[in-house]
Structure 1
Amino acid sequence: MIQFECTVYDQHGIRQVVTVNCASAADAKKKLLEAGYSVAKVVEISESKGFGLFSKNKLSLDDLEFFSAQMSLLLGNGLKLDEALELLQKVSVEQNIKFVVGKMLNCVREGHPLSDALEERFGFDKLYVSLVQIGESSGNIAEVFAGIAADLKFKKMLASKVKQAISYPILVLVFCTLAILFVFNVVIPRMSVLFDNQENLPWYTEAMLSAADFVSTYQWLLLPVVIAIPALLLQLKQRPELKSTLDSIAINTPMLSQLVRMLERIRYSSAMFLTIKSGISVERAMQYSAKVIKNSILQRQASAAEVKVRQGNTLASSFKQTLIYDEIHTGLIEVGEKSGDLESIFKEITEREQFNFDALVTRFTALLEPALILLMAGIVGSVVVVMLMSIIAVQDIGF
């Protein structure tokens, strides 16, 4: 069956937008006419064609947060699951959301649970699906969607902070590159006539002229290389052995290690909070939460900690042998185990680390701005100084 979004008018002339599942557009129009509607437009809600990272039907982080928040609101106000999905499909503007929600609606109306329709190719990870399954079995699916929406809202903020932290360096680097290209393509070639027929030029003058000649000759290869290197790294990162190597480097690099561990700690603690809050056992919560960790080294450590807990070890002692939590956090987890309130402990860890990460990114951005300005001034200034020294040297040779 194909989904069609139809603009119709009822007997009172009121415009409506309805979704119909039929074999063809003609069948959809006929069905609506038999129901007493005047049909203005019938549009097929089709799956957007795409592949890999460019699949248009894969919901973005914004889409997932919007879907989760709206489902929590609609289900919390007493709507049935199919009614909530139908209303959400009507109010959605994005074509990909309409298609994905329509697939869910068809699945639910056929008698299947909603979790069966949450496919990974649409952007729903294993933790998301598991939480929805827990909500369906426990009957508190509205609360589960609310928790997921809150977690996704933080992830949106986190992504925004990361983009903010890297966008400024990229912008400064682009301007610095353009300034250097201008000097090597315009300024130095015009001044090179001063050095014609000159012998025994200083080494820095010869280096400057050689660099300018190299840049003017091969600069057109710069853009393809800049595009090709990130694309190649993305392809190589898909290989497990290389990803494990890169993850190991990230964990063992002093400054980078702190950032990576903090990010993974936030992801893991947030997942533990959501799963424990949903009422499942600590062992299963650890199993689900380990899947959200991106770093393969830390993910293996989280899985090893889960095995130790199943063998009878305490949660705190198991985490002490990992790099995910430090002594302060394992101390909090030990308090949570003794008090039987791990939910609030993982919530506290998540919120505290979120605050620390926000402060770290703010401090990093504040320090990065003057550092990049000094770097750009140093590079361009060095070229200018070399040019002036070269002119003075030529004049000395002339005398």
Structure 2
Amino acid sequence: MPTFVYTGKTLGGEARKGELEAASLAAATAALRRQQILPSSVTPKKAGLSFEIKIPGLGKGIKTKDIVIFSRQFATMIDAGLPLVQCLDILASQQENAEFKRVLLDVKSSVEGGSTFADALRKHPKVFDDLYVNLIAAGEVGGILDTILNRLSGFLEKSEKLKGKIKSAMTYPAAVIVIAVLIVSGLLIWVVPIFQDMFSSMGQALPAPTQLVVAMSNALKSSWYIIIAVLVAAGVGLNRAYKTPWGRRIMDKAALKAPVLGDLIRKTAVARFTRTLGTMLSSGVPILEALEIVSKTAGNVIIEEAVMKARTSLSQGKTLAEPLLETKVFPGMVTQMIAVGESTGALDTMLTKIADFYEEEVDQAVEALTSLIEPMLMAFLGVAVGGLVIALYLPIFQVAGAASG
């Protein structure tokens, strides 16, 4: 945030000069007037020799946990009757994360300059997404900002918990696969050549499995850089393809139809959709605006298209349940419960119940997936390493058999 140098006088005629941080020259002037200082000059501070070194990847980024704590503390202060600007000032001064502190000070400066709290947050989309900003706007209009902040904290905590469970389920398989690759690569690079020298001294034809292992060892030793380059190129290619509309559509559709993971992805998407939409509706956000925001947070383009199709149908006077059922993305039970919520006028409550149910379903699916993957990975590791070792010892068994015969 820019720093401004000012000189001026108080209402009593006392001379004042100093520095203050503000988003713009107008915001700095407005802040001084609120402090009952009549500025005679306000100029941007010239950059001297002081600078800040910022290395990407090594900084302390703003995490969801930081936003949750901020929201909880902010809600408590607002409920206690503290002014908005004072709350922001206190929270910024107590913030240990330097990057988040800069954001909060900028938000405070914008509010002092006359912006609403929601508009001030909207200037930082990488920290506060559309969901957060729109809920804050609804809270400001309805005079229930503390309630909204508490609701947002609970929503973010549950979302992070859901993400954490899925990540923990994927961490174990990834670790086992990496270990298996390292073990097999080590055997092929360092162990197989020793056996290869011994085999060449035997002067006998090697069995087919042994020939395959020796060929793999030679290829890995001579062309390891090509293999790494191909893997990196494949990873970069897939990443770039996913960033294109057609590539993302193909991959997201394949993900939903995957044999085991597809069901987990679908349940996670339903839980996220119902939790987000329920939170927004209960906070007073109009349903058409809420659906547009929810579609952007779906995380899957197929589900995003289904939600936007439901929004279009809803704007034409239809119910929400009917178009969701037609998309065939959401389970029948979900659309039935939504239809009941619409008919009874308690859609937000029904959506929250669906979210609770599907979050429990995700927990069970993760546990089932973990219990299924563990023995499969152990079998894979045993076959890979065991098969390699057996292939290396086959010629020795042949020689021993010929000698005994």
**TM beyond 0.5:** yes
- Matched with 1:261 is 266
What RMSD, in angstroms, separates the aligned Cα atoms of the two structures?
2.9
Shift of 1:305: 0.8
Asked if 1:202 is matched to 2:207, the reply is: yes
Once residues 71 and 396 of structure 1 are traced to their aligned partners in structure 2, the CA distance between those partners, rounded to angstroms, is 79
Distance 1:173 1:222 in 2: 17
Match of 1:334 in 2: 339
Quote the residue 2:174 is aligned against. 170
Deviation of 1:128 after TM superposition, in Å, equals: 1.7
Question: Where does residue 378 of structure 1 map in the other structure?
Answer: 383
Mean alpha-carbon deviation: is it higher for 65-74 or for 219-228?
219-228
Partner-residue secondary structure (3-state), 1:168: helix
Contact 1:57/1:100 (<8 A) preserved: no
1:211 to 216, 239, 259: 216
Letter in structure 2 aligned against 1:148:
L
Q: Is the 8 A contact 2:292 2:311 kept in 1?
A: yes
Query: Residue 151 and residue 248 in structure 1: after superposition, are their counterparts in 2 closer, same or farther (change >3 A)?
Result: same
User: Does the alignment pair 1:193 with 2:197?
Assistant: yes
| C-alpha spacing 1:301/1:374, structure 2 compared with 1 (3 Å) | same
TM-score (ref. length: structure 2): 0.82
Q: Distance in 1 between matches of 2:237 and 2:108?
A: 39
Tell me the equivalent position of 2:144: 140
Query: Which amino acid counterpart does residue 180 of structure 2 have in structure 1?
Result: C
| Structure 1 residues 308 and 342: alpha-carbon distance in aligned structure 2, compared to 1, 3 A threshold | same
Deviation at 1:344, TM superposition (A): 0.9
Matched, 1:355 2:360: yes
- Measured in 2, the distance between the counterparts of 1:247 and 1:45 equals 48
| Deviation, structure 1 residue 307 | 1.4
Pairing 1:297–2:302 present? yes
1:267, 1:48 → 2: CA distance?
A: 38
> What is the CA deviation profile of residues 307-339 of structure 1, one whole-angstrom value per residue up to 9, with x for unaligned ones?
112222222222211234211112211221221
CA separation of 1:83 and 1:107: change in aligned 2, threshold 3 A: same
Aligned partners of 2:272, 2:401: CA distance in 1, in Å? 65
User: Identity over aligned residues, as a percent?
Assistant: 25
CA distance in 1: counterparts of 2:50 and 2:127, whole angstroms: 19
Q: Secondary structure at the match of 2:260?
A: helix
Give the match's secondary structure for 2:21: strand
Contact 1:59 1:122 in 2 (8 A): no
1:100 to 100, 103, 113: 103
Q: Which moved more, 1:77-86 or 1:115-124?
A: 115-124
Residue 47 of structure 1 contacts residue 99 of structure 1 at CA under 8 Å; is this kept in 2? no
TM-score computed with the length of structure 1 as normaliser: 0.83
1:307 aligns with 2:312: yes
Counterpart Cα distance in 1 of 2:52 and 2:363: 38
Using a 3 Å threshold, how does the CA distance of structure 1 residues 189 and 130 change in structure 2: closer, same or farther? same
Give 5+ residue unaligned stretches, structure 2.
Answer: 5-18, 24-31, 38-48
Instruction: Give the aligned partner of residue 245 of structure 2.
Output: 240
Asked if the contact 1:48–1:56 (Cα under 8 Å) also holds between the matched residues in 2, the reply is no
Query: Equivalent residues in 2 for 1:12-27 (5 A)?
Result: 20-21=20-21
Distance (whole Å) between structure 2 residues aligned to residue 174 and residue 280 of structure 1: 46
Aligned to 1:88: 91
Distance 1:324 1:58 in 2: 35
Distance in 1 (CA, whole Å) between partners of 2:359 and 2:263 is: 14
In 2, Cα distance between equivalents of 1:365 and 1:392: 39
Contact 1:100/1:122 (8 A) holds in 2: no
Native 8 Å contact 2:264 2:366 kept in 1: no
Q: Distance in 1 between matches of 2:55 and 2:301?
A: 28
Gaps of 5+ in 1: 5-18, 24-30, 36-43
Give per-residue Cα distances to partners, 1:219-243, cap 9 Å, x unaligned. Answer: 3555555555444433332222211
Question: Number of matched residues?
Answer: 365
- Mapped to 2, the partners of 1:157 and 1:215 lie a distance apart of 41
Say yes or no: does 1:369 pair with 2:402: no
Tell me if structure 2 keeps the 8 A contact 1:127–1:291. no
- Runs (4+) of structure 1 exceeding 6 A deviation are 44-48
Q: Which amino acid aligns with 2:21?
A: N
SS of match in other structure, 1:218: helix
Cα distance change on mapping 1:205 and 1:257 into 2, 3 Å: closer
Paired residues of 2:78 and 2:84 also in contact (CA < 8 A)? yes
| Equivalent runs, 1:150-161 vs 2, <5 Å | 150-161=154-165
Aligned pair 1:288/2:261, yes or no? no
Q: Given residue 313 of structure 1, which amino acid in structure 2 is its aligned partner?
A: K
Residue pair 1:58, 1:122 contacting (<8 A) in 2 also:
no
Q: Which residue of 1 aligns with 2:44?
A: none
